Amino acid sequence: MTEDPKISTNYFQTYYFIFDGSSILSAYSELINILKAIDINLLNNISSLNEAKMNKIVFLKTDHENFIEKLILIKNFTAYIKEIGKLIHEETFEFNLSLDTNFNMLKNNIKKINWDTWIQNYNSFKVRLITIGNFVKNSKYSKNEYYSLIPQLGEIILRQSNATVDVKDPFHKIDFIIWDSGKIVFGLNIFTINRTIIDKRAPKHRKFFHPSSMNPFLIRNMMNFGLTNEIIEKLSKKASLYFLDPFMGGGGMLVDALDLGFHTIGIDLKYWMGRGTRMNLYDFEEKISFSSMPWNIISLTTSQNLPIRKNSIDLIVTDPPYGISTSLKDNNFSQLLTTVLSECFRVLKKGKRIVISIPSEYPLPKIVDKNQIIFSISNIVHRSLTRIIWVIENK
C-alpha cells in the first residue's frame, strides 16, 4: 500500500510511533492517554495493544487537519517513543522467494511513488534502516543483506525526485523499517526524539543520591498517565497548575513536574531528604531552565493533615517508600497509604488524578472506590519487586 502525502480533511493518513524497547504495555498506555487527553477521537483508528506487542510499533490513521500540532505535543510529553513518522508505503517480503526477487518487486513499487511530494523544494534526504525483531532466529535474510539494499533504494528516490543525498545532516530521513517476519514499511520521519534530556535526570546525575530513586523515564511515564485535556491546554498556555508529591524522596517527580511547567510542592517525613531534594532542584534549575517556576519543599513529622488548602492541587504523582530499609515511623505501609490518600483526595481538585506506584503485594486501600480507578498497569523492577501503577480520579 502506498499513501499520498496530501493533507485533506476527508483523507486519512497513517502515522507510526516506534517505542524505545522498554515495556510495550507502559509505552502503549502512555500514548493512549496522551492521545485521549489531546483529542479522544484520535483513538478511533489506532493499533490494538496486541498489535503493538507483536509489531513493537503503533500505527494511527487520522484525517485530522493540522495533525502535526498534535504530534508536537506527543513529542514533548512522551517517555518511551523514540521515532514518529508518516507512512509512505508498506508490503511484505515472501520468504519462499529469493531476496533479489523480493527486492525487484519492492523497487518497482518504490518507483511508482511521486517522491517530489514527499521530499519537497529540492531538499536533501537519506534512507536509514530500522530493524524490529530477532533476525538471527526468525528471518530468512540477515540484517546485512537488508543494509545492502539501502544505496539502491536511495538511488531510486534520487532519480525519481529533485532531491539531493546527504547522509550526515539530511533535511529528510526516509525510514526503511523491516521486521524479522518480512514486513516492510517506508515512512517519512517526522521526529527523532532526543531522550537524553530525560536521561540526564537519572539518580546517578543528581547531587543528592538516594538508592530507591525511580528511573526518570518511568517518572515521565507516570506523569503522562495524569494528563487530561484541561491540563495539556493549561500547560500549553503556561497557566498556573499545582503539582504535589507527598513522598518526594530525592525529588525526581518534582524535577519532571517543574520541567513540564507545574508549580510544585514536595513533602517528606525526613528532614534530611528535604535538604537533599533542595540540592537537586537548585542544581537542575540551571540544567533544564525551570528557574521561573515556583517550588516548595515541606518536611513533616506526620503524614496527617497536609498543610495544603482543600481542592487546590491539579495533579498528584508519587512513589511511596517501601522496602526493608525504609522507616515509616509509627505507621506500617498500608496505614500510611490510607492516611496519605485520604489527604490527597482532600487537597486534589475534583476530576483530577492521583498516579501512585505500589508494590504488587499490597492492595489498593479501601478508601479508593472502584469507580475512581481509571486503569492500572504492572511494572517489573526486578525479580523480587513488581510495581502496580494506579491511575485514580478524584470524583
CA pair distance 15, 79, nearest whole angstrom: 18
Mean pLDDT of 282-298: 69
Quickly state the pLDDT bin for 7 (edges 50, 70, 90): very low
CA pair distance 277, 249, nearest whole angstrom: 7
Grid coordinates standing for 313? Answer: 492541587
CB within 8 Å of 93: residues ≥ 6 apart: 99, 102, 106, 141, 182, 183, 184
b/e per residue 2-36 (b: at least 16 CB within 10 A): ebebeeeeeeebbbbbbbbebbbebbbbbbbbbbe
Mean pLDDT of 220-232: 97
Nearest to 288 by CA among 319, 318, 315, 254: 254
Type of residue numbered 360: S
The pLDDT mean for the chain works out to 87
CA pair distance 56, 8, nearest whole angstrom: 29
Note the pLDDT of residue 127.
Answer: 97
Segments of the chain assigned to CATH 3.40.50.150: 197-393
Note the pLDDT of residue 192.
Answer: 94
CA pair distance 134, 183, nearest whole angstrom: 13
Quickly state the pLDDT bin for 271 (edges 50, 70, 90): confident
Q: Which residues pair with 375 in a beta bridge?
A: 391
Q: How does pLDDT run across 115-130, given as a tens digit for each residue?
A: 999 998 789 999 999 9
Mean pLDDT of 342-349: 96
Quickly state the pLDDT bin for 35 (edges 50, 70, 90): very high
> Domain 197-393: what homologous superfamily?
Vaccinia Virus protein VP39 (3.40.50.150)
Of all residues in the chain, what percent carry a pLDDT higher than 90? 59
CB within 8 Å of 370: residues ≥ 6 apart: none
Note the pLDDT of residue 329.
Answer: 45
> In the block, which residue shows the cell 515509616?
328
CB within 8 Å of 62: residues ≥ 6 apart: 12, 13, 15, 42, 45
The Cα angle at residue 155 between residues 151 and 157, in degrees rounded to 5: 120
> In the block, which residue shows the cell 515495556?
23
Strand arrangement of the beta sheet that strand 81-92 belongs to: 57-62, 13-19, 81-92, 183-192, 172-179, 124-132, 164-165
**Environment class of 228 (CB within 10 Å of its CB; exposed 0-12, middle 13-18, buried 19+):** middle
C-alpha distances out from residue 238 to 17, 72, 74, Å: 27, 16, 17
Tell me if 291 sits within 8 A of 261, measured CB to CB.
Answer: no
Residue 328 pLDDT more than 60?
no
> In the block, which residue shows the cell 510495550?
24
Residue 291 pLDDT more than 60?
no
Note the pLDDT of residue 120.
Answer: 80
Torsion angles phi and psi, residue 143, rounded to 5: -60, -40
Grid coordinates standing for 91? Answer: 508490503
CB within 8 Å of 382: residues ≥ 6 apart: none
Note the pLDDT of residue 370.
Answer: 94
Segments of the chain assigned to CATH 3.30.2130.30: 13-192
Q: How does pLDDT run across 249-270, given as a tens digit for each residue?
A: 888 899 899 989 999 999 987 7
Residue 292 pLDDT more than 70?
no
Q: How does pLDDT run across 71-118, given as a tens digit for each residue?
A: 999 999 999 999 999 999 999 999 898 999 999 999 999 999 999 999
Mean pLDDT of 23-28: 92
Q: What is the CATH number of domain 13-192?
A: 3.30.2130.30
C-alpha distances out from residue 259 to 38, 198, 218, 255, Å: 19, 10, 15, 6
Among the ranges given (80-94, 273-287, 316-330), the one the predictor scored with the smallest mean pLDDT: 316-330
Tell me if 223 sits within 8 A of 257, measured CB to CB.
Answer: yes
Residue 187 pLDDT more than 90?
yes
Residue 8 pLDDT more than 70?
no
Mean pLDDT of 45-61: 92
CB within 8 Å of 326: residues ≥ 6 apart: 212
Quickly state the pLDDT bin for 214 (edges 50, 70, 90): confident
Quickly state the pLDDT bin for 324 (edges 50, 70, 90): very low
Q: Where are the alpha helices (DSSP H) in 129-270?
A: 135-138, 143-147, 150-159, 196-199, 216-225, 229-236, 252-260
CA pair distance 104, 186, nearest whole angstrom: 16
